[in-house]
Structure 1
Amino acid sequence: QEDDDSCSDYGSRDKPGTTLGRTVPDGNVLFPDIFHTDHLLFYERFKAYQDYILADCKASEVKEFTAEYLEKVLEPSGWQAVWRTNVFEVLVEVVDVEYSALKAVVQLGEPFLCESRDSTFTLDCMQELLELKERQIPLQELWVVYDESGEFDQTALAVEHVRFFYQCIWRIWDEEEEDDFDYFVRCVEPRLRLHYDILEHRVPSGLVVDYQNLLSQCEELYRKFLNVRNSISSSDSDSEVENVSMVEGLKLYEKIEHLKQKLKLIENPLLRYVFGYQKYSGLQAKGPRPTGTKITHVVSSTMMAGLLQSLLRDKLCPESCGEELEIQFHNDPLAAVNACYEGDTVIICPGHYVVDGVFCIADSVELEG
């Protein structure tokens, strides 16, 4: 009973009216508004996963713990949702929930509302598709339709937590990792912190690209590894094909482990900066420009006449300067820094700049602005 009470405090079941916002779906079809839940703060997701969903579970227990959480907070029927895939969106009504499978049993909503890339998804086609799926849809593919009563707030939040977890936190190899440690501490918290550090631009964009590329490579190799492993288990023992597959599997396994270690380095808030530093620590200084000249680099997103006059008066043509200055203009601070040689000057004018990369300065240059 205590678990039920503590869990019911998370959300707004006992409060009149919804506390969640609403979002108007994009597209040409007039779908009903949906709950706006993808804006949750770090501490809200952290608290949900630590206190209500995962607690101290192992990786192999994640699905079981999630199902237990859903049984406490998810309305089993009576709510509508927009079922979204890469190909179509369709309005459905939830008539039951298969908690252990993390799926909802649905039927098409009335009226029939569907938007797709082509016109092949008719009412009959969608009915047939649902029958093939035994009318069971993964919860993470559902966006709960807005209801101002507050009755479905916890349902909308629960679906959001499941969706976010499997899209942003869970890795397909997690279940096969060492299971002796607290999964939340070992994997969930560092990945969640990294996600929000990236959102709040606290991680260099170059490192973000590296992480995403590493993750994609690791997922692709792991799927290949699973295929090889399955082929070994289904083939005759001691066959030449099996021996070749085992060698291939070992090579894939080593590559995967190497990539996973790199991912863990970036996921660790302290080590990711060491990783980023080591990547660029081999940078060599260019030294003086071969021609011997020194260039002043001016960075400005837009150059107005008044700004140019001010630069000419205060920076580019000082009275004490007895020689001609060579000037280059840039609209990106990173491009200006990368163009520098020893002794150059970079003047960054007021403005808003989006830098896609990491500043690596190996030469002695002067920065102003």
Structure 2
Amino acid sequence: MASGPRPAAPDDSVRTTSPGRRGDKVVSAPTGDPAAAAGSLKRTASPVRSVVASPRPVKGRAGREAARRRLQLPPVSQAEGPGEGPREEDEEPLLSEPEEDDAEARPLPPVCGSPMRGMWRDEKVALYCDEVLRGCNAEDADDAMTKYLSEKLKLKDKWLGVWKTNPELFFMKYEEASIPFVGILVEVTCKPCPSSSSCFNVTVSIAEPFSSNIANIPRNLVNEILEELEHNVPLLEVYPVEGQDSDLHDIALALEVVRFFYDFLWRDWDDEESCENYAALIEERINLWCDIQDGTIPGPIAQRFKKTLEKYKNKRVELVEYQSNIKEDPSAAEAVECWKKYYEIVMLCGLLKMWEDLRLRVHGPFFPRILRRRKGKRDFGKTITHIVAKVMTTDMVKDLSSDTLLQQHDDLDLALDSCYSGDTVVIFPGEYQAVNLALLTDDIIIKGIGKREEIMITSEPSHDSFVVSKADNVKLMHLSLIQQGTVDGIVVVESGHMTLENCILKCEGTGVCVLTGAALTITDSEITGAQGAGVELYPGSMAILERNEIHHCNNLRTSDISKSTLGGVNMKNFEQHFITVAGDGNVRILEVKTG
């Protein structure tokens, strides 16, 4: 597989639109003259700013002094420690810099807008499957992309573009937030491609006037970096600028098509597995991407997919680097480490394949979250009431019977960890967090004392799950559950039965999910903020909902009316279902039974 086209260039900091649309102002320039095109774009240039960074060393004292001056670094006398004399090469006379090199870089002109952004998913599918790949196999995808791009590059052999590259190429020390990328206005020369891989490299030179997104970057530093690269840079790092002839928009589209393919559609396992219909696989991934973009897949779930994909790529790199560092025959420890890394990759690969299954599209793969065994009842048969409060007073227990066994905890997690089936956890007003809420296996009651708004339990943002149950019968009463950062449903009932009574559920991701074979009862509760339906019912599940308020859910970022009809309750792929609603016209679902 060719490795040239895969690096992802940073996103542009300035969004532009393609010419020809109503209301857009198109700047034109004489065709065939890149310098004239650059001059005509000064007024529409993107913002430019100075930054503080440590440049890579350049030749001679003049170069170092210029770099320090441009990047606002201390001069040699301040940078060197006390008592350190000048080095030998510092004794050279300071060379005068050219006048044009003293001037700051001009702002970058705007690049061509994203032609694919306005395409419908059917248009994207037709573009990739019919025009680019044309029914090829996975192992031939690189050649197909190269052929497509080569044909477009024949339209024009010289043009202006913005080269966007990693700041590490120019600077040794810099603030990542202040320099997301280094952009340089360059003149691109396209030459015939002797091989498929060379199509993804292009010859560039600094265009006039010298322009960059970093005002104080030294021109001689850019020249030296280009000389080291022999003026060859990855073509996918170059973005054509606006204001040139129409052929450049075709080239800009072709570059975006190839970037998107390697950033999102291509998987390195595709050519390792036999795939009878590669075009159908690409269509599935385009649909997945569109579902993420239009909000059909909730934002937190989309983030989880992206993190999994990024983790997979990083693990692949780790394995390759680890293997390359083994010089001779691997030792037993090295072989074991290789296998461990390999199996991590296999597991992530399987998870990503599950994501690409349409049947799992809305929530992503639901695999068992709970691996803890059920404790059951205590050996002596007694149950305990766990009091969760900083200090326990007699007023807290005055309503309990005299034979009640009590344990006091100042931490909700400790109370849940101490529970056996039949126990009760009593929570007094305050703010709590409990990882063990995602590990409910025993039949317990968790209830708040006081107003439900004053007993707030928030999720751990670093965890995937918040409340997950596989107990036969677990009950939550008079509580407020506040989801922060977790990507699973705010409550997931894997198996057994869960009851929510007089609770407030403030969702940030998906709502309550009832998986196959599980049951749920919700009464007098409020569910709000879910990105999707407030309650998701899977085939074979059962739910009873009485006197609840489910509102401000289904927050899809789409204008497609057909995708905004999930409502408060969504039932997935049911052959039969029975719903009873209130007869008074209120939007309250009284009962939902499914089977």
Calculate the TM-score normalised by the size of structure 2: 0.45
- The partner residue of 1:252 within 341, 346, 351 is 341
Work out the CA distance in 1 between the residues paired with 2:332 and 2:19.
Answer: 60
For 2:47, the equivalent position in structure 1 comes to 27
What one-letter code is carried by the residue in structure 1 that aligns with 2:291?
Answer: D
Query: What does 1:138-153 correspond to in 2, within 5 Å?
Result: 138-147=234-243, 149-153=245-249
Question: Is it true that 1:115 corresponds to 2:115 in the alignment?
Answer: no
CA contact (8 A) 1:205 1:358 kept: no
- Structure 1 residue 288, shift from structure 2 partner: 7.0
Q: Give 1:358's match in structure 2, choosing from 488, 501, 510.
A: 510
Does 1:65 pair with 2:154?
Answer: no
Q: Please tell me the root mean square deviation across aligned C-alpha atoms, in Å.
A: 3.9
Deviation, 1:219, is 1.4
- Which residue of structure 1 aligns with residue 131 of structure 2? 52
| Equivalent position of 1:289 in the other structure | 447
Shift of 1:212: 1.9
Aligned to 1:317: none
From 303, 309, 315, the equivalent of 1:221 is 315
Corresponding position: 1:230 with 2:324: yes
Judging changes above 3 Å, is the alpha-carbon distance between structure 1 residues 98 and 126 closer, same or farther for their aligned structure 2 residues? farther
- Aligned equivalent of 2:304, options 210, 220, 227: 210
C-alpha distance after superposition, 1:104-136 (max 9, x if no partner): 2211111111223x84x4222112212222222
1:244–1:330 CA distance, 2 compared to 1 (3 A): closer
**Alignment partner of 2:254: what SS?**
helix
Structure 2 residues without counterparts, runs of 5 or longer: 1-17, 28-43, 49-105, 168-181, 371-437, 456-477, 492-498, 514-519, 526-547, 552-595
Deviates more, 1:357-366 or 1:20-29: 20-29
Q: 1:54: Cα distance to partner?
A: 1.7
Amino acid corresponding to residue 354 of structure 2 in structure 1? L
Query: 1:260-279, aligned counterparts within 5 Å?
Result: 260-273=349-362, 275-278=364-367
Of the candidates 549, 570, 574, which is equivalent to residue 367 of structure 1? 549
Higher helix proportion: 1
Whether contact under 8 Å (1:288, 1:343) holds in the other structure is no
**Which residue of structure 2 lines up, in the alignment, with residue 185 of structure 1?**
280
2:305–2:355 CA contact under 8 A, matched in 1: yes
Question: Number of residue pairs matched?
Answer: 307
Q: Is the 8 A contact 2:156 2:247 kept in 1?
A: no
Give the secondary-structure state (helix, strand or coil) at the position aligned to 1:289: strand
| Cα distance in structure 2, aligned partners of 1:205 and 1:242 | 45
The aligned counterpart of 1:83 is: 163
The answer to whether the 8 A contact 2:481-2:504 is kept is no
Contact 2:239 2:252 in 1 (8 A): yes
Query: Which gives a bigger RCO, structure 1 or 2 (Cα 8 Å, sep 6+)?
Result: 1
Displacement of 1:19 after TM fit? 4.4
Q: Name structure 1 gaps, 5 residues minimum.
A: 1-16, 298-325, 349-354
Question: Are the equivalent residues in 2 in contact too, given 1:25–1:34 (CA < 8 A)?
Answer: no
Structure holding more strand per residue: 2
C-alpha displacement at 1:258, in angstroms?
A: 0.8
Residue 162 (structure 1) aligns with: 258
C-alpha distance in 1 between matches for 2:151 and 2:355: 35
Letter in 2 for 1:30: P
Please state how far the C-alpha of 1:80 moved relative to its aligned partner.
0.8
Q: For residue 40 of structure 1, report the CA deviation from its aligned partner.
A: 3.7
Which residue of 2 is the match for residue 305 of structure 1?
none
Distance 1:76 1:248, change over 3 A: farther
